Amino acid sequence: MKSRRSFLALSGAAAAEAALLAYGMRSRPATAEAGALAPAQQPPQARAAGVRKNLTGEPFGVAMPVPRVLRPTRTTSDTDYYDVDIREADVEILPGTTTRVYSYDGQYPGPTIRARTGRQVKVRYRNQLPDETNVHLHGGHTPADSDGHPMALIAPGGYRDYTYPNRQQGTTLWYHAHGHGTEAEQVYRGLHGFYLIEDDRERNLRLPSGKYDVPILLRNIALDPDTGELILSDPNDRPIVQVNGKPQPHFSVAARKYRFRLLNASDHATFTLTLPSGQLVQVGSDGGLLPAPVTRSQVTISAGERVDLVVDFSRFPIGTQLFLNEAAAGAILRFDVTRHADDDSRLPAQLRALPALPPATVQRDVTLSFNLDPDNTAGLINGKPYDPDRVDFTVKRGTTEIWQVSNGDVEFGIQHNFHLHLVQFRVLDRNGQPPAADDRGLKDTVPIGPGESVRLQATFTDYLGEYVYHCHVLAHASFGMMAQLNIVE
Ligand code: C2O
Ligand code: CU
Ligand code: CU
């Protein structure tokens, strides 16, 4: 015990990193994201200023792309059918440089699927990659056999059909790769896209819609400036912040209201965002609309989370430039107010009441931590690394439960992001305090700082079977920080 303690104290995160690297190398070289244990607090972007200047060419020189909306291959009275190829693609991330990525349909980020509450979507994903993969609809209330369980993989050359009933309210979801041990690498290589659910009640509120409803995927990467290759090694050293696939783009807007649906698809990075002069008005979070709009001076969005915003550009003269600022990276996106446009959208004072909280009958404790023993390094939940053959919790369908989720990694200051499949939950409190603005609304992912503890309440309805919960720092999940529940009758 004494020697282990002093090993940790003396060599700290660096030794743990080396241990993790060895661990990853043994099983799967490309997931050896060794920096998993480097202090999460260290913002990778902090070191980026010099690098970025050389890497991205003219700042704000390129337009921010908006991922195209996928067209159904066929529709029936109750179902939209889609086909998506999962394949490698060469994309231009840095001007004049080609980067090989993994993609959905050759798009980076992937195409957006627009679904409607109560109307079924079926997607056939064809795997044209050299590796096994699968697809998970993050935040989706989905039958177990379509959830993208980490062991339910699509072989190279094969396909799988996923069914999404969309029995949940309108919100911003995303789809991404989720094979056990490969999820961190494959999402980093580009396997991520938006899945937006709309419903009639939400449409009747008349929030900005159509081309004024814009999903924005944020993530950080590292590239080799000479070859354009993605650098896989250290998730804590990814200095380039991409906004819908481009570093430091501009987005030309009309002087009117917009809805921006932000997603952080990074592995490690948490982004803290500001816009000048009180323009950040939050209308929704992971699982749908908030009861009322909330004006935020800043929003913090950790890996896996979504924040739904309305920004009103109408009070700015044509020619105004506004910068979306990230605390560590600086300006990551420039809005250029270039024109007038009609605006019949609204920002109502009331949006949608949250569902009532039924009384909870089950309490559970969940602790996320690392085993830092160099011979045995692994991500743990309640002391155990993920075992697909083990059921960690058995849940009776229909039950409302309270989970107290804690981060046990205090010594190295490692943040974990707790994510639960199948359900949207509510944060009851954080360290015993009522939820602050970032924790409000329906949530499926919450950051938990070292030593912190969050109480969540969830009701498990509809579907039976096995679902996972895990740290959404995907490198941590790849190292075992995942567990599963079985929902039974
Ligand atoms: Cu975003 Cu289990 O995933
Ligand atoms: Cu998920
Ligand atoms: Cu973690």
Residue nearest ligand 1's atom 1 by CA: 138
Q: What are 102-135's pLDDT values in tens digits?
A: 999 999 999 999 999 999 999 999 999 999 999 9
> 48 CA distance to ligand 3 centroid (A)?
23
Q: Quick one: DSSP state of residue 210?
A: G
Q: What are 290-347's pLDDT values in tens digits?
A: 999 999 999 999 999 999 999 999 999 999 999 999 999 999 999 999 999 999 999 9
SS (H, E, C) 439-478: HCCCECEEEECCCCEEEEEEECCCCCEEEEEEECCHHHHH
Which ligand gives the minimal distance to the CA of 476?
3
Percent above pLDDT 90 for the chain: 84
> 184 CA distance to ligand 2 centroid (A)?
13
What does the pLDDT read at residue 54? 46
Q: Grade residue 155 by pLDDT with cuts at 50, 70 and 90.
A: very high
> 471 CA distance to ligand 3 centroid (A)?
5
Q: Quick one: DSSP state of residue 426?
A: E
Instruction: Look at residue 156 and tell me whether its pLDDT is greater than 50.
Output: yes
> Is there an atom of ligand 1 within 6 Å of 192 CB?
no
The span from the CA of 11 to the CA of 313, in Å, is 51
Q: Grade residue 56 by pLDDT with cuts at 50, 70 and 90.
A: low
- More confident of the two residues 30 and 461: 461
> 38 CA distance to ligand 2 centroid (A)?
25
Q: Which atom of ligand 1 is closest in space to residue 445's alpha carbon?
A: 1
Q: Quick one: DSSP state of residue 246?
A: E
Which ligand gives the minimal distance to the CA of 192?
1
> 416 CA distance to ligand 3 centroid (A)?
3
> Is there an atom of ligand 1 within 6 Å of 419 CB?
yes
In 3D, which of 232, 236, 228, 293 has the Cα closest to residue 270? 236
CB 391, CB 488: distance < 8 Å: no
> Is there an atom of ligand 1 within 6 Å of 470 CB?
yes
Instruction: Look at residue 478 and tell me whether its pLDDT is greater than 80.
Output: yes
What does the pLDDT read at residue 279? 81
Burial of 317 (0-12, 13-18, 19+ CB in 10 A): exposed
What does the pLDDT read at residue 99? 97
Q: What are 169-186's pLDDT values in tens digits?
A: 999 999 999 999 999 999
The pTM of this model reads: 0.90
Q: What are 366-376's pLDDT values in tens digits?
A: 999 999 888 88
What does the pLDDT read at residue 27? 27
> Is there an atom of ligand 1 within 6 Å of 304 CB?
yes
The span from the CA of 343 to the CA of 257, in Å, is 7
Structure tokens at 400: 């409302």
Q: Average of pLDDT values for 249-268?
A: 98
Instruction: Look at residue 51 and tell me whether its pLDDT is greater than 80.
Output: no
The span from the CA of 285 to the CA of 305, in Å, is 8
Percent above pLDDT 70 for the chain: 89
What does the pLDDT read at residue 276? 86
Instruction: Look at residue 7 and tell me whether its pLDDT is greater than 70.
Output: no
Q: What are 390-448's pLDDT values in tens digits?
A: 999 999 999 999 999 999 999 889 999 999 999 999 999 999 999 999 999 999 999 99
What does the pLDDT read at residue 42? 31
Which ligand gives the minimal distance to the CA of 479?
3
> Is there an atom of ligand 1 within 6 Å of 256 CB?
no
Q: Which atom of ligand 1 is closest in space to residue 176's alpha carbon?
A: 1
Q: Grade residue 97 by pLDDT with cuts at 50, 70 and 90.
A: very high
Q: Average of pLDDT values for 353-367?
A: 97
Instruction: Look at residue 47 and tell me whether its pLDDT is greater than 60.
Output: no
Provide the CA 296 distance to its chain's centre, in angstroms: 21
Instruction: Look at residue 13 and tell me whether its pLDDT is greater than 70.
Output: no
> 252 CA distance to ligand 3 centroid (A)?
37
Q: What are 366-403's pLDDT values in tens digits?
A: 999 999 888 889 999 999 999 999 999 999 999 999 99
Mean pLDDT estimate for the chain: 90
> Is there an atom of ligand 1 within 6 Å of 421 CB?
yes
> Is there an atom of ligand 1 within 6 Å of 138 CB?
yes
The span from the CA of 25 to the CA of 393, in Å, is 31
> 77 CA distance to ligand 1 centroid (A)?
30
Please name every residue paired with 54 in a beta bridge, in sequence order, or none if there are none.
none
> Is there an atom of ligand 1 within 6 Å of 178 CB?
yes
